[in-house]
A and B are shown apart, each in its own frame.
Chain A
């Protein structure tokens, strides 16, 4: 702790700021952030960017190869593939972010409770977490989506719930590390309530690993949404989604391969970017790596 007092002003900055600066030095992560920002803008500006209405069919332009009029070609009922890829960004990003938000909203409080209270509460929560982790992620999500009914909202709920146990486990493990620290003991000694200690003293100190995991979980959730939509359990046609576009494209692979190429490349790029960003954040928030 004495180093913090004698250190120069620049290195006395908050850990979050230092992590960001460290992140900025990693070229891969910065490029990945650029790609993510690009896709976010694409999703927000879809109405302005997309050259055509993503739902507009045209019987005179069925399965046309890429051309000046249709850069990515057209699909089996003459819709513009580029416009559908652009609009599909919305479903993918929404699913990635909302489902991880669901996981965090359940995972953090439950994990805090298990880690801080301990005893039978922890034992109960841990066994329930084990049980959920025993069901393969996508299979659990498929089962949930099946029982809830197919829709983008239900797919997001299914993915979010299926990914929750990872966050419960991570939060719990972090709490166990932090709660033995002197400042928590001090907070308890001055009479803070358990709720306040969890919220004000423990939570802020376990945020970095949660951010890293959340970033990687967005990548997994985007693939999962595409997978559910591919199976017909996510975004319902005719609304555009990369996964459901691939589902249709599969049937026309021998005479309209462009239908399959672009949605796939989009999923790949977006997922790769979140993975790279997550890896970069992990390295940047790890003091040993700096």
Chain B
């Protein structure tokens, strides 16, 4: 276990290093003097001179990177030019909203994806299997921002059941919060449900053809027990770990979903930052998502390692 952990951690360090170089490098894509752009419309010479000093713009590039990286390691992601707040504070402020959206979306995705996957594997080559596959293709091909607009058209404009936009904190009013979140969460979860369904189907088909499932059936066990108790437990493991890798899709999707439903989360933060030319915020958001993705990836690997006795034993 310890050896595996060390090996795995050893690959993370260079990855994080490259992530930081990549994100720092984004700044170099800006044409001209970054201070001129960061200073905003007014282009106040004192502000520009200040920025030059603060961002070490007169130093050579590698030195600037080192200054920047040292700041990041200390939790200093720079400051928002627009809101005059540290980027880290902004990220921490917006994170809970997106986290709630992501968790609800994942819940919906797991429920739909796993159920559809089991059904299509058990009823392989029947109309149910066909329907589940059509659902998966539909989920993968529908742009989620369009699905969001269509749901608003149906449930808010036509039926008037749900609010079209806005966000209420769950601590203020849980019912209003869920009413506002159910559509965005479904929109976001839909595409991931499709991916999970495909994983679940193939994992389940594989498990259902194993010897121990045949033995369970031969013992005369009820088919429902065989599928839900014996097969599902083993088929679920790869699906959960693969599901963790969908985190990136979840965050990418959240950017669009939050835009459609005007939810003040992480995604809205980056889009607003892009339009306000608030580049430090853009960099900060990308850095945070990448770090979170790497951490989640590691957690998924560890989980897979822990639940798989064969891997555990071979690594001592």
Q: Which residues of A contact B (CB under 8 A)?
A: 127-128, 130-132, 134-140, 142-149, 219, 223, 226-227, 230-233, 246, 249-250, 253-254, 257, 260-261, 263-264, 267-268, 271-272, 275-276
Contact = CB atoms under 8 A, between A and B. Distances in A.
A227 B293 contact: no
Interface string B13-38: 01111110111001101110000000
9 contacts: A127-B15, A136-B252, A139-B251, A142-B271, A227-B256, A232-B275, A253-B149, A260-B146, A271-B142
A138 B266 CA distance: 14
Nearest to B19: A131
Interface stretch (B169-177, B202-210, B282-290): B282-290
Nearest to A140: B286
Given A131-B15, A131-B18, A146-B274, 9 more contacts: A131-B17, A134-B290, A136-B252, A138-B253, A139-B289, A231-B259, A253-B149, A260-B150, A264-B149
B248 A130 contact: no
A272 B274 CA distance: 30
B18 A253 contact: no
Interface string B125-146: 0000000000001101111011
Contacts of B293: 134-136
Chain A interface main SS type: helix
Nearest to A141: B252
A204 B265 CA distance: 47
Chain B interface main SS type: helix
Nearest to A135: B290
A257 B151 CA distance: 12
Contacts of B255: 138-139, 142, 231
Contacts of A232: 275
A142 B143 contact: no
Nearest to A264: B146
A148 B277 CA distance: 11
A147 B26 contact: yes
Interface in B231-267: 247-249, 251-253, 255-256, 259-260
Contact of A257 (B21, B153, B291): B153
A143 B283 contact: yes
B279 interface: yes
Contacts of B31: 149
Interface of B: 11, 14-19, 21-23, 26-27, 29-31, 137-138, 140-143, 145-146, 149-150, 152-153, 157, 164, 247-249, 251-253, 255-256, 259-260, 270-271, 273-275, 279, 282-283, 285-286, 289-291, 293-294, 297
Given A127-B11, A131-B18, A232-B275, A139 B149 contact: no
Nearest to B286: A143
Given A131-B18, A134-B294, A136-B252, A146 B279 contact: yes
Given A137-B252, A139-B270, A276-B137, A264 B143 contact: yes
A131 B271 contact: no
A232 to B, nearest CB: 7
Given A146-B282, A147-B27, A253-B157, A275 B274 contact: no
B214 to A, nearest CB: 23
Given A131-B15, A147-B26, A264-B149, A272 B141 contact: yes
B145 A227 contact: yes
Given A135-B293, A139-B285, A231-B271, A271 B143 contact: yes
Contacts of B18: 127-128, 130-132
B19 A135 contact: yes
A267 B146 contact: yes
B157 A257 contact: yes
The 9 closest A-B pairs by CB, nearest first: A131-B18, A138-B252, A264-B146, A136-B248, A272-B141, A147-B29, A146-B274, A127-B14, A134-B290
Contact of B153 (A134, A145, A253, A268): A253
A148 B249 CA distance: 23
Contacts of A219: 141
A230 B260 CA distance: 10
B27 A250 contact: no
Contacts of B271: 142, 231
B143 A268 contact: yes
Nearest to B191: A223
B248 A137 contact: yes
A251 B39 CA distance: 32
B252 A139 contact: yes
A143 B260 contact: no
Given A139-B251, A227-B145, A275-B137, A134 B270 contact: no
Contact of A260 (B22, B23, B153, B273): B153
Nearest to B259: A231
A217 to B, nearest CB: 13
A142 B137 contact: no
Given A147-B27, A147-B30, A136 B289 contact: yes
Nearest to A127: B14
B252 A230 contact: no
Contacts of A138: 252-253, 255-256
Nearest to A272: B141
Contacts of B138: 272
Contacts of A149: 31
A140 B270 CA distance: 11
Nearest to A273: B141
Nearest to A131: B18
Contacts of A260: 146, 149-150, 153
